[in-house]
Amino acid sequence: MSILDINKIRKDFPILDEKVNGRDLVYFDNAATTQKPTIVLEALSNYYGHYNANIHRGIHFLAEKATSAFEDSRTTIQKFLNAAHKEEIIFTYGTTDGINLVAQTYGRKFLKEGDEIIISTLEHHSNIVPWQMLCEEKGCVLKVIPIDDKGDLLLEEYEKMLSEKTKFVSVVHVSNALGTINDVKFIIDKAHAVGAKVLIDGAQASSHITIDVQELDTDFYAFSAHKLFGPTGMGVLYGKSDVLNAMPPYRGGGEMIKEVTFEKTTYNELPYKFEAGTPNIADVVAVKFAIDYINELGKENIAAYEDELLKYATEQLSEISGLRIVGQAKEKVSVVSFVLDGVHPQDVGVILDQQGVAVRTGHHCTQPLMNRLGLPGTSRASFAVYNTIQEIDKLVAGIHKVKKMVL
Amino acid sequence: MTINAIQDEIIEEFELFDDWEGKYEYIIDLGKKLPKLSDEFKTEDNIIKGCQSIVWLHAYKQDGKIHFEADSEAIIVKGLVSMLVKVMTNHTPEEIANADLYFIDKVGLASHLAQTRSNGLASMVKQMKAYGIAYQAND
């Protein structure tokens, strides 16, 4: 049994009291976005209600208070990732934004025709399309690490792909569709051995796995706040300072400049070089509270409890005849994707929704992965620390009802 | 029967159901009963864009009236599509182009109309009306 008091944790998330179609909400779409604890909601309203001001330039009281809260968040995230320097933490709008930043700055400056970029079959569209756009513009070649039928990357194939032509590797830490945890340390080390830079898409990993960017030795790590109990529209790009310094700025505007004349502009230092315009101050301020909340529960405790949920759900769902779990990787986070014989995933989603159970159905923004698996899509239940065994029982009962009604 | 008369009939049928289960079982049943669309009409051009499941809509004109045939991979969508076909098929292009489909709201399925991205019912209605307008122009 978990050392966490789950009933107490549930009280921290007001949305869990909502009724959906007259039933208690069972929220199993956490891989899409997590719900927000009261302390995060209060942080947002406190900011707007008590110290809303534009940051960095103002010399008045509110501006200083807002600036220091904003920069406190950067320090909190630095510690969360164990980054060596605070200025290595760049605020973005989300994981997608961070990946685009790297493709459009590092990629456009340092990659040229014939250079190879490696991604994997497990990627979300967000970690495919920015690289395809870059390849189209620069004439680079996109290579894709294959998977086995269980959803694990074929790392020996990856090793064969690496050569002096490999200039960039961008791989997902945890698969959003299948839950596979990739051995990113191995991927990073092998890429570095041929002189390639590496980005890890941490959108799904950040809430489940302890991340140490120095130990990983990754060049970039991107994630979104809203998947770890924080607000939407706020994300983080970690980059090694020497790599970030070598990159040209991304967007032009206020804050990212040192001096502007009509003849020439000089750019600000890290991290501000990449933070043009008034940032998403309230959401940045609030993410600190989300991370503090995670730290208070303890990431290991969260992971251990989520593993219990995953194990129970896997056992229970496996017993349903005609149900097949898609994605049985050796290491998984608390995500269960499944297909039901003779039932389209959309029908599963609609009927579960009528019973108050929220799952995601479809291709999960991983169409190439679905093609590889030969599926139009799956139904996916993804668990967070506030979910319970009883809720999984409701999912199981809900699926039995789907079968009864459709088949 | 006019488009509105058929709609009123459907509304009346739905009044029999007092819970979601009965309603959805009925929709699923309609989906199962909808004749399979012949493979020759399951073309790329006949796919309604914006649906999570594939929906095909085939239209043709006969004796001044438009006829619809449709199919879907997902059974609930197929049931919804079947109701739309029942309401809209075998009417003149003018009637179809000007139809006011109030039954979807009245039977408590408006949320399906709003979720354009997931089941494309709204896209389907739009496409049916587009056929109405196109066939009017051809006349």
State pLDDT tens for residues A357-375: 999 999 999 999 999 999 9
**Tokens at B41, concatenated:** 């009409």
Which of B25, B73, B75, B117 to mutate: most A Cβ within 10 Å?
A: B75
Report yes or no on A223 lying in a domain.
Answer: yes
The count of CB pairs under 8 A between chains A and B is: 39
**CA angle (A333, A336, A341) in 5-degree steps:** 160
**Residue A303 and residue A238 share a domain:** no
Whether residue A361 and residue B20 make contact (CB cut-off 8 A), yes or no, is no
**Residue A255 and residue A316 share a domain:** no
Interacting residues of B138 by C-beta distance below 8 A, sequence separation 6+: B61
Chain A residues near residue B20 by CB distance under 8 angstroms: 21, 354
**Residue A351 and residue A276 share a domain:** no
HEC sequence for A272-292: HHHCCCCCCHHHHHHHHHHHH
**Out of B20, B25, B74, closest to residue A344 by CB:** B74
Chain B residues near residue A354 by CB distance under 8 angstroms: 20-21, 24
CATH number for A397: 3.90.1150.10
Which residue of chain A is at minimal alpha-carbon distance from B74? A344
Report yes or no on A1 lying in a domain.
Answer: no
Tell me which of A365, A385, A395, A399 is the catalytic residue. A365
Average pLDDT in chain A: 96
Alpha helices in A51-203 (DSSP H): 61-81, 95-102, 108-110, 129-138, 155-161, 184-193
- The residue among B120 and A325 whose pLDDT is bigger is A325
Chain B residues near residue A378 by CB distance under 8 angstroms: none
CATH number for A283: 3.40.640.10
- Domain end marker among A248, A271, A295: A295
Report yes or no on A35 lying in a domain.
Answer: no
| pLDDT recorded at residue B113 | 59
**Residue A107 and residue A140 share a domain:** yes
- The whole domain housing B108 covers 3-138
Q: Do A44 and A375 touch, CB atoms closer than 8 A?
A: no
CATH number for B20: 3.90.1010.10
**Residue A244 and residue A211 share a domain:** yes
Quick one: how far is CA B104 from the chain centroid? 10
**Residue A124 and residue A26 share a domain:** no
**Could you give the number of structural domains in chain A?**
2
- The residue among B122 and A189 whose pLDDT is bigger is A189
- The whole domain housing A362 covers 6-30+298-406
**Residue A230 and residue A311 share a domain:** no
Distance CA A219, CA A216 (A): 9
B18-23 contact pairs (CB < 8 A, 24+): B20/A21, B20/A354, B21/A354, B21/A405, B23/B107, B23/B108
**Residue A150 and residue A114 share a domain:** yes
- Domain end marker among A280, A295, A310: A295
**Residue A270 and residue A384 share a domain:** no
**Could you give the number of structural domains in chain B?**
1
Distance CA A296, CA A302 (A): 10
What average pLDDT does range A62-66 have in this prediction?
95
What average pLDDT does range A240-248 have in this prediction?
97
Measured in angstroms, the CA of A353 and the nearest CA of chain B are apart by: 11
ipTM of the complex: 0.90
- Domain end marker among A295, A328, A343: A295
Q: Judge whether B51 counts as a catalytic residue.
A: yes
Q: Do B123 and B51 touch, CB atoms closer than 8 A?
A: yes
**Per-residue pLDDT tens over the stretch B24-62:** 999 999 999 999 999 999 999 999 876 678 899 999 999
Q: Do A358 and A28 touch, CB atoms closer than 8 A?
A: yes
Report yes or no on A36 lying in a domain.
Answer: no
**Does A20 reach chain B within 8 Å, measured CB to CB?**
no
Measured in angstroms, the CA of A34 and the nearest CA of chain B are apart by: 21
Report yes or no on A185 lying in a domain.
Answer: yes
Give the range among A9-13, A200-204, A319-323, B80-84 with minimum mean pLDDT.
B80-84
**Residue A19 and residue A91 share a domain:** no
Whether residue A344 and residue B119 make contact (CB cut-off 8 A), yes or no, is no
Q: Do A277 and A253 touch, CB atoms closer than 8 A?
A: yes
pLDDT at A28 over 90: yes
